[in-house]
Amino acid sequence: MFCSQCEQTARGQGCEQWGACGKSPEVDALQDLLTHCLRGLGEVALAAHQLGIRSREADVFSCETLFSTLTNVNFDPECFVQYIQRAIALRDDLKAKIQLTGTPVEFTALSSFQPADTLEALVQQGKDIEFEFISSSAKNVDIFSLKLTILYGLKGIAAYAYHAQELGQEDDRVYNFCHEALAALGRQDISLDEWVNMALKLGEINLRVMELLDAGNTSTYGHPVPTSVPLNAKQGKAILISGHDLKHLEELLKQTENTGISIYTHGEMLPAHGYPRLKQQYPHLYGHYGTAWQNQVREFAQFPGPIVMTTNCLMPPHDAYSNRVFTLGPVGWPGLKHLETDDYTSVIQQALELPGFTADGEPRQVLTGFARNAVLSVAGEVIEAVKRGDIRHFFLVGGCDGAKSGRSYYSEFVEKVPQDCVVLTLACGKFRFFDKDLGDIGGIPRLMDVGQCNDAYSAIQIALALANAFNVDVNQLPLSMILSWYEQKAVSILLTLLYLGIQDIRLGPTLPAFISPNVFKLLSEKYNLKPITTPDQDLAACLG
């Protein structure tokens, strides 16, 4: 196997024996084979679109299944076998429809690829395809690096597009780009500059996807408002829900109304508490449990109820709690109970059988809900505070968390931020400092949680609105971005920031293994993208 898509990759180069995330070589090969089949489906879907034939099923399927190959989402070989078969069926269905039009269309070998009949043979096909793809790196390591960047960025786009369509927000431009970029990955006739442009185009399309997702979230659940969320347990039955999917959370809340069960969020689900139409409508959306995803083995073992995983990050489950974990949508692990629909009957039944929390915990709280509307509603006060010199600088300290050492940089950085500076944060990296009381500056909190990684659009809008209010370019704002990455959604967000021309981003804890030295040189020359160093050195540079 070879996989280098996340920050945890072995030796900072690539997982070759077994995934550091727990992904087996078998699943890795099946994921590569699925991607190959999606490329064929993409080629046919594009040709069909040109003839006015649209398959929404193929569009959404491509996003859902590409999402399933993102780090820490799906580890179940059987699930990938089904996805592969479905990709081929959708492709052939579209091909038949094209044929019926009588228009001759030429396809590449991708669109006639036939998967094998047995699991073993499928795995071998996946390995062969992977070998061929990796071998192409010898021709031009920089183009290979850009292809990987695009493939991984597409996984991020697919995840966001999947969430957006669940909330009724879609744009054919997004689906077309995904099909186009997937189909292009095998081409040898594209120059380095054209690959660079495609990576930036990916950033542009990702901005559109995040805009759709933001519209889906806010039109369905209202604009988040600053909300205090209990971190302590409440006596009684409990269900824990993790991941990013608000729609699944809403369904769970509906079905647990008047059951006496309290719903606790975990990980990236924390910002759900800020949405008025979730929090106010469902008072049993009680509190938040646990910290970052990499602590789940210890924390899930101690949770006295069932656990629902709606998206990443799922770690290899421990025997101590695996019979209490339910997966949904693109998430999977062999042997875990997978819910095919949003019917939570079995989860509720298990919650009622399990003890729940036997006593109330010591009261502790955290604030969330500082999305764009909440922050911009006090924009006047913020601008005045900056003009008076009360606020010297803003830091956006956001991104993924991860299991590797070196991530204490981010908590140390936030602790060392001077008293006259404000920290905006988003995504799961915040769990290293989310419960710190940093106080306020004239009533403006010094630590504001903008939301999930899915809310990066909100953070971008805050920056653009402030730049507009100060009548300066966003790069001239007293704002520094200190980003942490782990999985592929972060890759798509980084490409969006570069597409927007954001300069001086500091990225860590390590640079992506798939970015070649030349590609990084290009990015650092054009955008001044740089690796993090030490909190003291970076703070001094940002404030200097």
Residue closest to 512 by CA, chosen among 400, 395, 425: 400
Of 95-103, 346-354, 377-385, 487-495, the segment contacting ligand SF3 by CB under 6 A is: 487-495
Would you state the structure tokens that stand for residue 283, as one six-digit string?
């008072």
What is the closest distance, in whole angstroms, from the C-beta atom of residue 4 to ligand SF4 in the complex? 5
Cα separation, 14 vs 134, whole angstroms? 12
CA 32 to chain CA mean position, Å: 20
427 counts as binding ligand SF3 under rule CB under 6 A: yes
3 binds, among ligand SF4, ligand SF3, none (CB under 5 to 8 A by kind): ligand SF4
267 counts as binding ligand SF3 under rule CB under 6 A: yes
Instruction: Report the residue number, 4 or 169, with the smaller CB distance to ligand SF4.
Output: 4
268 counts as binding ligand SF3 under rule CB under 6 A: yes
Would you state the structure tokens that stand for residue 192, as one six-digit string?
């380095």
20 counts as binding ligand SF4 under rule CB under 6 A: yes
Whether omega for the bond prior to residue 453 falls within 30 degrees of 0, making it cis, is no
Cα separation, 229 vs 231, whole angstroms? 6
15 binds, among ligand SF4, ligand SF3, none (CB under 5 to 8 A by kind): ligand SF4
Q: Is 365 helix (H, G, I), strand (E, B) or coil?
A: strand
Identify whether the C-beta of residue 142 lies closer than 8 Å to the C-beta of residue 519: yes
293 counts as binding ligand SF3 under rule CB under 6 A: yes
Strand positions, DSSP E, 211-359: 227-230, 238-242, 262-265, 285-288, 307-309, 325-328, 337-339
Binding site residues for [4Fe-4S] cluster, as ranges? Answer: 3, 6, 15, 21
Strand partners, 447: 423
Of 19-27, 78-86, 376-384, 520-528, the segment contacting ligand SF4 by CB under 6 A is: 19-27
What is the closest distance, in whole angstroms, from the C-beta atom of residue 409 to ligand SF3 in the complex? 16
Whether omega for the bond prior to residue 509 falls within 30 degrees of 0, making it cis, is yes
23 counts as binding ligand SF4 under rule CB under 6 A: yes
Of 17-25, 282-290, 411-419, 533-541, the segment contacting ligand SF4 by CB under 6 A is: 17-25
What is the closest distance, in whole angstroms, from the C-beta atom of residue 442 to ligand SF4 in the complex? 44
Q: Residues 56 to 95: which contact ligand SF4 by CB under 6 A?
A: 71
Count CA atoms closer than 13 A to 314's CA, side-chain side: 30
Residue closest to 339 by CA, chosen among 245, 221, 453, 269: 245
400 binds, among ligand SF3, ligand SF4, none (CB under 5 to 8 A by kind): ligand SF3
Sites of contact with ligand SF3 (CB under 6 A) = 72, 244, 267-268, 293, 312-313, 400-401, 427-428, 452-453, 486-487, 489-490
